[in-house]
Amino acid sequence: MPNLPTRRAILAGIPLALVATTVSAGLFSQDIPENLDLALRRPTDAHHYTVAIGPVEPEVRIGRMHAWTLALADRRGRPIDTARIAIDGRMPQHGHGLPSAPAVTQALGDGQFLIEGMKFNMHGWWEIDLAIDGPAGADTVSFNLVL
Amino acid sequence: MRRILFALPFAAIGAGALAIHLPDPAAPTWSEEDLSLVRSLSLDALPPVPADPSNRVADDPRAAALGRSIFFDTRFSSNGKVACATCHLPDRQFQDDRALSKGVSETSRRAMPIAGMAHSPFLFWDGRKDSFWSQALGPLESAVEHGGDRTQYAHVIGAHYAEAYVEVFGPLPDLDVLPARAGPVADPAAATAWEGMARSDREAVNLVFANVGKAIAAFERTIAPPETRFDLWVASREFPGPGLLTTEEIAGLRVFLGAGGCVNCHGGPLLSDGHFHNTGVPAVPGLPEDRGRETGALLVREDPFNCLGPYSDAQPADCAELRFMVPAGADMLRAFKTPSLRGAASRPPYMHAGQIPDLERVIAHYVAAPEAPAGQSELRPLTLDHTQRHELAAFLGALDPLP
Ligand SMILES: [Cu+2]
């Protein structure tokens, strides 16, 4: 399962095959590291939790506010419904943060949370940083996106 | 118009086409990703004007007609000489070609073009307004722009626009009981008169005032960015080869996307990300300190005419931009809204107070990436040789409206 190009394609709404073959040859994206881990599901840094995130609508448009969901589980995969979650983000190559201040606005149950106010104002490499304070303690996790 | 332009080369080539279309070894190569990025800058990629739930008459043509009249009406000023169109000239891309604008007195920032800004979540260089209608109220009460006040404007509506107003918004309040000049403005007499008014009268006047803004907004929403040679080229058959754009302009586009990094902030069909960046533009000696978005973020939150306020027609859920906006932090110090580059080539001077006189020096600014007078510039110095700078400027010229 070619995880990497799939993520790129979903997020940018660009047909998969085109992106997969030419992404590093572009004028614009030539400086984006080739080996970024683009998985949107991963364990937190201290392995207290497993977190998966994704946009509610599969196509993310630059400049448009939209919502994401977050699935939180403990290290054995059991969903967690009570946690404080803070969201931050940045473009590592541009030295700036997100153009909005997203927040978890609802616990949807079954370990799912709604994140509102997500926005990206540029193509390129974004990092999304989460700080999670739940039953197993405080932990952090970062995700990479290429738009 | 577009069809005709494309049809010409198509028909003329005929049998010679195969030879002509063999790849030219000197021609630049475009990845599919580059091509889709270029297409995303074209006017064809601009979605329809988004709904404005905070303004229930946003798309009412009667409101737009009323707003259009007010936009050009100098009676909405303290000296009878200033209208929106004084600084936003329709035949000059709705701006005034000056570094600082002249209304009743002089502003401390440069006038901004209006086209396409219905897509922009925040207005003004510092984004201190979150809708067209709320924005329009600012200059009306500014001592250096229109210089008037809320009851004055309510009286002008009552005397000259009552019928159109009532048709769109419903009955006017009893205006006869109101002072001639009153409002929360710099003028001390008008401010005192405003304090002396009953709360219910003030609220009734505020409603008329907000509705004036909503009518103007309905008009401004109809001001779309004009088509450019760049847009026609992207849709043309020879794209991405030379044709409606010259080889030099195309090379400039490649600098814009690549070595210049311009597309990072000047992206999308308006060539603006609608966000705020500190780009190290120098402060102007003699003007009041300008902290840019840092102040704007505070002001828009507190504004009674914002999306969440009592004069807004929106539900809180409609106000995501305001609810989830980046708060006034240090990285917003001297950050200003990215201007659209559509038509920029023909409207110097540049930047929020007209600090930079021409495109050549704008590009030199980006190459040098000087330290910001306050806060941190996001820019990093560029390596662009003489030719690339020329090409970049040539490309910006292709973003001018068609004559
Ligand atoms: Cu960036």
Q: Which amino acid is at B53?
A: P
Residue B397 DSSP one-character state: H
Judged by CB atoms closer than 8 Å, whether chains meet at A102 and B324 is answered as yes
- Rounded to the nearest angstrom, the distance between the alpha carbon of B290 and the centre of ligand 1 is 24
**Residue pair B150/B114 in contact by the 8 Å Cβ criterion:** no
Given the structure tokens 């609802």, which residue do they identify? A106
Judged by CB atoms closer than 8 Å, whether chains meet at B324 and A117 is answered as yes
Instruction: Give kind and range of the element (H or E) at residue B364.
Output: helix B359-368
Collect all residues of chain A within an 8 Å Cβ-Cβ radius of residue B32.
18-19, 21-22
Q: Select from 3.40.830.10, 1.10.760.10, 3.40.50.2000, 3.40.50.10300 the CATH code of B24-48+226-289+334-397.
A: 1.10.760.10
Strand partners of residue A141 = A130
Instruction: Tell me the pLDDT band of A25, cut-offs 50, 70 and 90.
Output: low
Q: Select from 2.60.40.1930, 3.30.930.10, 2.40.50.100, 3.30.565.10 the CATH code of A41-146.
A: 2.60.40.1930
Q: Which two tokens stand for residue A22?
A: 């030419």
Q: Supply the pTM of this predicted model.
A: 0.92
The CB density around residue B6, as the number of other CB atoms within 10 Å, is: 17
Identify the CA nearest to B30 among candidates B245, B249, B250. B250
Most confident of A29-43, A86-100, B117-131, B327-341: B117-131
Percent of chain B with pLDDT over 90: 91
Class of CATH domain B61-220:
mainly alpha
Given the structure tokens 């005192």, which residue do they identify? B192
Strand partners of residue A129 = A88, A142
Q: Where are the domains of chain B?
A: 24-48+226-289+334-397, 61-220
For helices B162-169 and B61-71, give the axis angle rounded to 10 degrees.
140
Least CB-CB distance to B31: which of A26, A62, A122?
A: A26
**Residue pair B348/B357 in contact by the 8 Å Cβ criterion:** yes
Secondary structure (3-state) at A12? helix
Q: Is A82 exposed, middle or buried (0-12, 13-18, 19+ CB in 10 A)?
A: exposed
Chain B: residues touching A (Cβ < 8 Å): 29-34, 36-37, 40, 254, 257-258, 263-265, 267-268, 273-275, 277, 320-321, 323-327, 331, 378
Q: Is B346 exposed, middle or buried (0-12, 13-18, 19+ CB in 10 A)?
A: middle
Radius of gyration of chain B (CA): 23
Question: What ipTM was predicted for this assembly?
Answer: 0.86
CA distance B333 to B376: 8
pLDDT tens track for A1-10:
333 333 343 3
pLDDT tens track for B123-156:
999 999 999 999 999 999 999 999 999 999 999 9
Q: Where are the domains of chain A?
A: 41-146
Collect all residues of chain B within an 8 Å Cβ-Cβ radius of residue A63.
268, 273-274
SS3 of B135-188: the string is HHHHHHHCCCCCCCCHHHHHHHHHHHCHHHHHHHHCCCCCCCCCCCCCCCCCCH
Residues written for chain A: 147
Q: Which two tokens stand for residue B8?
A: 């010409």
**Residue pair B357/B259 in contact by the 8 Å Cβ criterion:** no
In the A/B pair of chains, how many CB contacts fall below 8 A?
86
Collect all residues of chain A within an 8 Å Cβ-Cβ radius of residue B37.
26, 28, 123
pLDDT tens track for B164-195:
999 999 999 999 999 999 999 999 999 999 99
